[in-house]
Structure 1
Amino acid sequence: MAEVLDEGPFFHGTIANLCVDDFLTAGYRSNYRPDVVMNHIYFTAIVDGAGLAAEIAAELAGGDAAPHVYVVEPTETFENDPNVTDKKFPGNPTRSYRSSAPLKIIGEITHWTRLTPEALRLWRERLTALRSDERGDIIN
């Protein structure tokens, strides 16, 4: 029997316009490094973390991209996200996970703590620096 890392609920932030019963799958380009195709789909049990990811994705996409936060259900086992777990934060306080298996959309939420214009500006600067650094730290 697989270890249960977290009971959820789980959330995924994106700019994709999806519906209940759709599936999120790996194999798409990273929002942060478009030259990288992701082998995993990432999610969190913290709604504001998913909201942050959705707002950053919308900021990077520009135009009329709208952030969406979906309630998701893993279809198979998942693991702690190595981008943050133990590497940046001891343990997994961000409750961030990844899976190579699809996540099923079971709902959408519209209320999370939104980024201020100043916070968006700081994220834009950080992501610009990451994109310009070929050693940028993305685990695929």
Structure 2
Amino acid sequence: MAEKPTVLFVCVHNAGRSQMAAGYLQAIAGDRIEVLSAGSEPRDQINPVAVAAMAEEGIDIASNTPKLLTVEAVRESDVVITMGCGDACPIFPGKRYEDWVLDDPAGRDEGTVRRIRDEIRARVEKLIAELVIS
């Protein structure tokens, strides 16, 4: 794996789960890990409830924009973490793939989105521990 690993988070809309995960990874790992996120069918904006839930944690994802998943993004990543995008994610040999089964925060109430956010944070912290040798 590269000196500085690149992690790509992918969900369908790139408006909730993958944005929260990328926000946490950026905030916690800082410049030790390169962070990308994308969606197989990106929405035009990030879920406002997800933005609010992350703001409660002191992490601002409001200015992020959902991006379309590209083959290049997968190719340049060391770790690809999918969240319910199924077969839409291209597979390249030699990469580490994980599928995080998480509820989609779209249309959910604040309490549900907070629960999803907290589960994402726990998984991101575990991922950082595995990727970063301090």
- TM-score normalised by length of structure 1: 0.38
> Which structure's residues are more often strand, by fraction?
1
> Which structure's residues are more often helix, by fraction?
2
- TM-score normalised by length of structure 2: 0.39
